[in-house]
Amino acid sequence: MRLVVISGRSGSGKSSALHVLEDLGFYCIDNLPIGLLDDLVMETHHEERLAKVAVSVDARNLAHTFEQIQEVLHSLPKEEYQLDVVYLDAADDVLLQRFSATRRKHPLTSDSVSLAEAIEKEKALLDPIVNIADLTLDTTSMSVHELRSLIKKRVADKTDDDIAILFESFGFKYGIPKDADYVFDVRNLPNPYWDPQLRQYTGQDQEIQDFLSSKEEVQKMKTDIANFVGNWLPAFIDANRSYMTIAIGCTGGQHRSVFVAERLTEQFRQLFANVQVRHRELGFIE
C-alpha cells in the first residue's frame, strides 16, 4: 500500500496537492481526523481500491493529538506500507495575500484571533510535523501549475525503492530556498550577465551554454558538486531517505545556476529514475 500524508499551513497548497493525487488514482481524504487514520490503514487490507491513499492533515487536528499521529505513522509496518509525509509551507506575507485574494476564512481565526495571528499560531501547531516530513515544499514562489507538476513527478511517480531528486536553480538576491537539503554557491564562476550580448539569455539558451561550457572552472565546479552528491546519496538512501533537493545558486538565478542545474540533472538522470530540475526564478520545472 502507498500512503501519502499531506500537511502544511492553510493557503500553502494542500488542497491542490491532494487534487493532483486524486486525478492520478489515489483514494483521497481531505482533513482526516487523526483518530481515524489507524482505522483507514486497517481497512486497506480489505479494499483493493485503497492500494494508493492520500490524506491531508489539518492543524486543527494536531492541536492536542500530535503524539498520536506520530505514533500512528511510526507504527505502520514498513514491509507492508510505503509512507510519505509531505509538508507544504509558504512565507507569512504570501499566505496573507492568498487569503486576502480569495476572501477565505482561516480555520484558526476568530473574533479574538486575527488572520496574521492565526497564521503564526498554525505554524507553531505544525512545526513538530516538519521533523518527520519526508518532503518539504516551499510554495512561496510557485504557481499552481508548478506545484501540481512537482507533486506528480516527485510524489506520485516515485516507486517503492526510488529516491526523488530535484536540482533547483535560484538567485541569492531573492533568498535561499527553504526546502533545500544542500545549497551550492556558484557565484564565483564567470558571469555572462556582464556581456551585453549574452545578458538577455538564460542558462537554457545555447549562447549561455556555449559560453559556460568553454570555462574550465565551470566544468570543475560541476564535477565537484556531482562527486559530492554522488558520494553521499547512497548513505541517504541507506537511511531510508526518499527525497533530496539540491539547490544551485548564483546572483540572479538566470545564467550560471540554471546551466549547472541542467547539467547535473542530465548526469543524474542516467543513474536514477526520478530526477527533476526546477528553475525558481524562471518559473520552469521539468
What pLDDT, on the 0 to 100 scale, is given for residue 211? 96
Mean per-residue pLDDT, 255-280: 96
For the CA atoms of 99, 101, 105, 109, the dihedral, rounded to the nearest 10 degrees, stands at 40
Q: List every span in the chain annotated with CATH 3.40.50.300.
A: 2-156
Confidence band of 45 (pLDDT split at 50, 70, 90) = low
Please classify residue 237 by burial: count the beta carbons closer than 10 Å to its beta carbon, then call 0-12 exposed, 13-18 middle and 19+ buried: middle
How confident is the model at residue 83, as a pLDDT?
A: 83
> pLDDT confidence of 39, banded at 50, 70, 90?
confident
Compute the average pLDDT of residues 199-204.
Answer: 95
Checking if the pLDDT of 271 tops 90, the result is: yes
CA 138 from centroid of its chain's CA atoms: 6
Query: What type of residue sits at position 159?
Result: T
Residue 51: per-residue pLDDT: 81
Which has more confidence, 98 or 129? 98
Q: Provide mean pLDDT across the span 209-217.
A: 96
106 neighbors 12 (Cβ within 8 angstroms): no
270: which 3 cell numbers? 542516467
Q: Which residue has the cell 529514475?
A: 273
**Cell numbers linked to 43:** 481497512
Distance linking the first and last C-alpha atoms of the chain: 27
Average pLDDT over residues 177-191: 96
Domain 2-156: assigned CATH number:
3.40.50.300
